[in-house]
Each structure stands twice: as C-alpha cells, then as structure tokens.
C-alpha cells in the first residue's frame, strides 16, 4: 500500500514537472517566434526596428547610437541592434537576420556606398521597408524608403568657404605662391567622404591660390590621424642638419602646409596629439575639422583650431518619426537633412552651450 502511494506521488511530480517544462517552452517559443501576418497588421503591436550601426569609431558615432536608442525608448519602439565593427559583411549579415526575424522596419548606416542591391532586394521581397541613416548608397532608389542624415556636400562647402574668408586678401608665403592644403579624409568609399571632399573642392577651385598637396585616408580614427601627422613630421626632418625636426609648422615633400581640412574630429584630435608630442608650432596653420564634439570645440576656444563644421549626430527623434510614418504605409521624403551649423574663431564663445558628446 505504502509503495503504491509513493509510486502515485512520483507520477504526479513527474507530470507536474512535464507540464511546467511544456509551459515554459511554449512561452519561450511565443516570445522568440517571428511575427505572423496577423501581428503585422495589428495596429497596437509594438513596432520592431532592426538597426545596424557601423561601430563606435568616434564620440560622434557613440552619440549617434545613443540618440537612436533614447528616441526609440521615448516612442515605445523596440530595437534589434547590431554593431558591425566597421565591416560591411557584418552589416549584410545583420540585415539578413532582421529579415528572418520579420522586423517591421530596417534602418542602417551604410559604411560604404556600393554592394547593397541584393540584400535590399531581399528586404523588399519580404515586405520590410528600409531607411538609410547618416550615409547614402549607390542603388536603385526604389529599394529604400528614404535617407536621413547630414548634407555632406554642404559640410565640405562650409569648410572651404571659411578657408576663403580666412585667406581673403592674403598671399601665400610658400615658394609656389600657392596656399597648400593637407586633407585628412575618412572611410574610403563612404558617401560622407565623397561628399565632404566634393563640396570642399567645389568652393576652393573657384580660387586658384589653393592647392591640395596631399590627401590621406585616416579612417575617421584618432589613432590614424595621429599616425599620419607623426609620419609627416618624421619625414620632414631636415637632412642637412641630421635628424633635426622642423618645428615651425607641418611640411609635405618640403612644402609648408598652410591649412588642414580634416573630415572628422577624431582625426583632428589625433593631429593635435602628434603636434603636441613633437612640439610643433601650428599657430600659422589654419585647421578645420568636422563634427563639433565637445573636445574639438574646446580646442577651438583654446586657439588650436580655427573652424569646426557641425555634423549633427542626434538623428534619433527624426528617425522615429520616419519609422512611424513608414509603418503606417505613408511615403517619407527621399532625403531628410538634419540641421547643422558652423563654429569658428570669429564667434563669441560665451554664447556656446555644451555639446553633449
């Protein structure tokens, strides 16, 4: 009799455990399961945005990611996030996983311009709209809903207009009579680099005193900006007086650099690291940077930079507006530019507010 009761108790415990395991499995499968068509059409369901970021190469980028997360939380939009660690192949994988998951919308920062047609066709076939953030692509426009980000052409023009103003009425001290420019550019084949370079040239080419003597890709990284300038300083050591450094400015192939146009603050801060380390005096070198991180604004105030072109990373609120419109099946503008300004040595610094990044 006792043995029978014990057997019954064991059976009920096993049945209870089996029921618990089944229930847990069911709950997990529901929460992980991609959405059904019914859920898609359900007006009240929480929107899911698959967002592929390129990495965290700069304080600008970190702020850009934060802005998107903050705005998503404020709008009750769920984000599936992927950090591509600066690799397009990782972005392609992430976008494909968003498609498998059947997110409502995909947004991504295209690290480079080309190579997106196939994956965007797959998203289109799956009925998932795509919004480009920060950078543009070379692809059939019907493959994405729209672009949100900066006007890179205008950023380049702003930098060049400042240069023209700064050198207005002056002649160069260089032998060639030209005003020599060193350009530090960012990620190769990215739309932002193409635009910043193009806009800049468009303006300086209107004045034949200006000449870009050297342009080098610093990958938007502080370490690369530092390295490029270090190499420049080292290679301009005077051969006549063995190994002696030229400390009165930067030189390229014996030519004194009159101006530096750096495509982002990280590389500019790297440049400042090197000139400080080597004790180079750049007081007569005009230095222009792009982004307007707090550190570069501080450098502008300290007289180390002459001009900082703002690139606004706070894209989150506008992105969520666009996401909601697209989710409602509405059309969005092909291009939405964020508002941006210019900071120069001519400003009243007391009017500046904290940048927040």
Binding site for ligand AHR (CB under 6 A): 57-58, 60-61, 134-135, 192, 220, 264, 266, 290-291, 311
- How many whole angstroms separate alpha carbon 83 and alpha carbon 94? 9
Cβ proximity to ligand AHR, 57 vs 82, nearer residue: 57
Cβ proximity to ligand AHR, 185 vs 306, nearer residue: 185
Using alpha carbons, select from 146, 138, 187 the residue that is nearest to residue 336: 146
Buried b vs exposed e over 52-75: b needs ≥16 C-beta within 10 Å?
Answer: bbbbebbbbbbbbbebbeebbeeb
188 contacts 217 by C-beta, under 8 angstroms: yes
Is residue 289 classed as helix, strand or coil in its secondary structure?
Answer: strand
> Smallest distance from the beta carbon of 217 to ligand AHR, in angstroms?
13
φ/ψ of 77, rounded to 5, equals: -110, 130
> Smallest distance from the beta carbon of 56 to ligand AHR, in angstroms?
9
> Smallest distance from the beta carbon of 230 to ligand AHR, in angstroms?
21
- Compute the CA torsion angle 19, 20, 26, 32 (nearest 10 deg): -160
Residue 158, Cβ density class (10 Å: 0-12 exposed, 13-18 middle, ≥19 buried): buried
> Smallest distance from the beta carbon of 266 to ligand AHR, in angstroms?
6
Cβ proximity to ligand AHR, 47 vs 270, nearer residue: 270
Cβ proximity to ligand AHR, 135 vs 226, nearer residue: 135
> Smallest distance from the beta carbon of 314 to ligand AHR, in angstroms?
13
Cβ proximity to ligand AHR, 264 vs 285, nearer residue: 264
């Amino acid at each position: 009799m006792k043995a029978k009761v014990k057997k019954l108790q064991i059976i009920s415990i096993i049945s209870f455990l089996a029921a618990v395991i089944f229930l847990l499995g069911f709950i997990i499968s529901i929460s992980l399961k991609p959405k059904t068509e019914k859920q898609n059409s359900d007006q009240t369901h929480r929107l899911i945005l698959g967002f592929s970021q390129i990495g965290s190469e700069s304080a600008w980028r970190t702020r850009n990611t934060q802005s998107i997360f903050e705005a998503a939380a404020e709008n009750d939009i769920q984000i599936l996030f992927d950090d591509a660690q600066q690799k397009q192949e990782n972005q392609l994988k992430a976008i494909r996983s968003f498609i498998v998951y059947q997110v409502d919308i995909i947004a991504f920062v295209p690290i480079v311009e080309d190579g997106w047609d196939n994956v965007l066709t797959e998203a289109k076939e799956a009925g998932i709209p795509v919004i480009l953030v920060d950078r543009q692509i070379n692809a059939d426009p019907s493959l994405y809903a729209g672009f949100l980000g900066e006007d890179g052409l205008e950023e380049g023009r702003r930098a060049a207009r400042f240069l023209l103003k700064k050198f207005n009425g002056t002649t160069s001290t260089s032998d060639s009579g030209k005003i020599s420019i060193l350009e530090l550019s960012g990620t190769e084949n990215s739309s932002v680099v193409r635009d910043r370079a193009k806009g800049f040239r468009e303006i300086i080419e209107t004045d034949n005193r200006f000449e870009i003597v050297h342009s080098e890709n610093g990958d938007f990284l502080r370490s690369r900006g530092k390295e490029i300038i270090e190499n420049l300083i080292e290679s301009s050591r005077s051969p006549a007086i063995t190994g002696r450094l030229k400390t009165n400015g930067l030189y390229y192939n014996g030519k004194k650099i009159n101006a530096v146009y750096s495509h982002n603050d990280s590389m500019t801060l790297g440049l400042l690291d090197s000139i400080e380390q080597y004790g180079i005096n750049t007081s007569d070198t005009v230095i222009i940077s792009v982004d307007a991180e707090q550190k570069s604004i501080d450098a502008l105030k300290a007289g180390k930079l002459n001009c900082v072109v703002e690139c606004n990373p706070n894209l989150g609120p506008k992105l969520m507006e666009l996401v909601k419109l697209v989710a409602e099946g509405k059309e969005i503008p092909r291009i939405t530019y964020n508002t941006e300004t210019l900071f120069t040595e001519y400003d009243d610094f007391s009017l500046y507010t904290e940048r927040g990044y």
